[in-house]
Amino acid sequence: MSAHRKGAAMHPVSRVLVVSNDAPWQAEVVAGLQRAGALLDNPFGLCVEGVPGSAEAAQRVLADGEVQIVLIDKGLRENGEPQPAVALANHINQLRPELSLYILLQDDDEKLLMEELASHAIDGYFYRDEQDVSGWFRILSAEMGEKAATPFYDRLKQYVAMAKDSWHTPGHSGGDSLKGSPWVGDFYEFVGEEMLRADLSVSVPMLDSLLHPTGVIAEAQRLAAKAFGARKTYFATNGTSTSNKVIFQTLLAPGDKLLLDRNCHKSVHHGVILSGARPVYLDSSVNRHYGIFGPVPKQVIFDGIAANPDARVLILTSCTYDGLRYDLAPIIAAAHAAGIKVIVDEAWYAHARFHHAFRPTALEAGADYVTQSTHKVLSAFSQASMIHVNDPAFDEHLFRENFNMHTSTSPQYNLIASLDVARKQAVTEGYRLLSRALRLAQELRGKINSTGAFRALELDDLLPEAVRGDGVQLDPTKITVDISQSGYSSDELQLALFERFNIQVEKSTFNTITLLLTLGATRSKVSRLFDALLRLAKELRPPRHYHRLPEIPGFSRLACLPRDAFYEAGERLSLLDDDGLPNAALYGRVCCDQIVPYPPGIPVLVPGQVIEAPIIAYLARLLKTQKSIEMHGLLEETEYGLRVLSPEELAELPSCAWFN
């Protein structure tokens, strides 16, 4: 690393705004804080500027991602606003909740008013007349120190630097078993010494315990909860899939009823099996032109809530893989009015808290539990996720028992460190990096459209008809590209991008590819992608006729609980008969497994579901026409088949009469 780059990393810029229209006083405060910054230790690069009023302050906060702290003069005067300091504090908190806000007061009576009207937004107070600028500067620097702290990562680095001899797991002993090996020494060089030295075990007490955190992991989780707007946050090292299952087992006992989007991630359906709950499946909307599944229509959710007053839980996915997100607030309000807890799978939306273009988040809309794949769109390592809790009736002991049931007793400490670092980056520079991602996304959309052969789809293109009036929004950093005029199939296009241009995309349907812009998006990457698409477009292939995916059949009905069907031995029947036609022997039988074509990843069958003719016809057609689709859950030993309940097994199981 060059000295310049190292210096830049060691000395970030943290802008402090002083908002006041008392110009002489403001100038004195700004000059005093700047002098303090020059004389005192200033590791976070605090630099101070004056701003004359609320409009200018809001404009600077939106335009400058390096603004970290705002000091607001309680004596701010503006026409038409009875409490301009209060209004500005609340407005800035709405725009960028990660910013630290301090109020400059005249007396304690003003403090009482601020606490009453804006306590949720305020981080601290100073008294104008004291003007202890050196003391103020130290407090602001300490505020940045807490925001930028990475307690677990720092302790992990400290331990590695101690260079302790390892007489404990893991077996590679800090990489010593690999180093210098003629057979596997290249792995040591590839992974790196620091990474291997940091791969430790629970035998190191100073690094705390993920299963019972009381030290640096607990502190890191507290900082994450503050950053994401949760009462409690928990780090998960085996993905959002396991996080969903933990919450299910915490909230649901065998026989409890829940409402769920049929389009939920398969981990949610696995959670249904593990919990023994009684699911009520809500069919999602479908954009048939592009083979994209959207949110459940709002009225379907409301009807589901009304028809199932005994339901304990509602779980939804927002945003979807393709970037479609619910108008959650009215849905959550309706669920809460019926006494239903709401879980939102935000696996693809962990960044939303840190830019106003993406908000409100599920927590801000009132969700009780939120799971996030921090690794998907922020800077954590793969499998590193978070569980956020805002449930006022949260049973932490029960949650911890379920969490520990699913969590390894040997968690990967590098994953925990990456969560700590990802949170720090999100609160300190997330806004700036997301603003860049949004600009690049807009630029890339224009460049894609200019090729003539590819088209970046907008919200109106993606919205299924059934949800056009539901207030659904699009995450613009997820770009779905219509490739139908290019002459390429999606498989051919992905291969060409990969082999000829060194580009890997996120996913595809039969006539689209999806691009994901994250904090790591750069203009250079945009330029290379545009160049690749332009070159492919110039090949002037004739547009091709695409065979659309057959429409996924509607949900039939449950004959028994998913868990009951899954744990039976069942019997195996072929999907196709001897003539290669859909096997009529499957009609009316009850499936034991979850059958999921991927993409798009929506279960066609879940355990306990009655198999009907359209379902078998759908699966058979997929196998014949869509060779690239993976068929999760089908038996593949000799030919495709399904595991179904025997008549004797079904007769002994409790029925699902409640479902109908």
Whole-number pLDDT of residue 187: 95
pLDDT band at residue 553, thresholds of 50, 70 and 90? Answer: confident
Whole-number pLDDT of residue 184: 96
Q: What is the mean pLDDT of residues 238-267?
A: 93
Strand pairing class (67-73; 14-19): parallel
Token match 């993406």: residue? 358
Strand pairing class (512-516; 257-261): unpaired
- Residues facing 479 on adjacent strands: 515
Token match 């359209």: residue? 614
Q: What is the pLDDT of residues 563-598, one digit of tens each?
A: 999 999 999 999 998 888 999 999 999 999 999 887
Rounded to the nearest integer, the mean pLDDT of the chain is: 92
Whole-number pLDDT of residue 637: 64
pLDDT band at residue 7, thresholds of 50, 70 and 90? Answer: very low
Task: Reply yes or no on whether the pLDDT at 4 is more than 50.
Answer: no
* Rounded-to-integer distance, Cα 124 and Cα 72, Å: 11
pTM of the model: 0.93
Q: Which residue has the higher pLDDT, 389 or 107?
A: 389
Sign of the torsion formed by the C-alpha atoms of 335, 341, 346 and 350: positive
Contact predicate 247/345, CB 8 Å: no
Nearest in space to 280 (alpha carbons), one of 301, 302, 263, 257: 257
Whole-number pLDDT of residue 2: 39
Q: What is the mean pLDDT of residues 388-402?
A: 97
Whole-number pLDDT of residue 243: 95
Within 10 A of 261 (CB to CB), how many other CB atoms are there?
25
Q: What is the pLDDT of residues 125-145, one digit of tens each?
A: 999 988 899 999 999 999 999
* Rounded-to-integer distance, Cα 485 and Cα 629, Å: 22
Q: What is the mean pLDDT of residues 292-303?
A: 95
* Rounded-to-integer distance, Cα 427 and Cα 494, Å: 35
Whole-number pLDDT of residue 1: 38
Give how far Cα 115 sits from Cα of 86, 102, 111, 229, Å. 10, 12, 6, 19
Express as a percent the part of the chain with pLDDT over 70. Answer: 96
Q: What is the mean pLDDT of residues 253-257?
A: 93
Range with the lowest mean pLDDT among 7-16, 76-85, 634-643? 7-16
Secondary structure (DSSP) of 498-566: HHHH----SEE-SSEEEEE--TT--HHHHHHHHHHHHHHHTT-PPP----PPPPPPPP--BSS-HHHHH
Whole-number pLDDT of residue 6: 44
* Rounded-to-integer distance, Cα 640 and Cα 321, Å: 28
Q: What is the pLDDT of residues 185-203, one digit of tens each?
A: 999 999 999 999 999 988 8
Whole-number pLDDT of residue 120: 83
Find the distance separating the first CA and the last CA of the chain, reported in whole Å: 65
Q: What is the pLDDT of residues 492-543, one digit of tens each?
A: 999 999 999 999 999 888 889 999 999 999 999 999 999 999 999 999 899 8
Give how far Cα 302 sits from Cα of 102, 201, 331, Å. 42, 48, 7
Task: Reply yes or no on whether the pLDDT at 660 is more than 70.
Answer: no
Contact predicate 516/506, CB 8 Å: yes
Sign of the torsion formed by the C-alpha atoms of 412, 416, 417 and 419: positive
- Residues facing 641 on adjacent strands: 574, 635
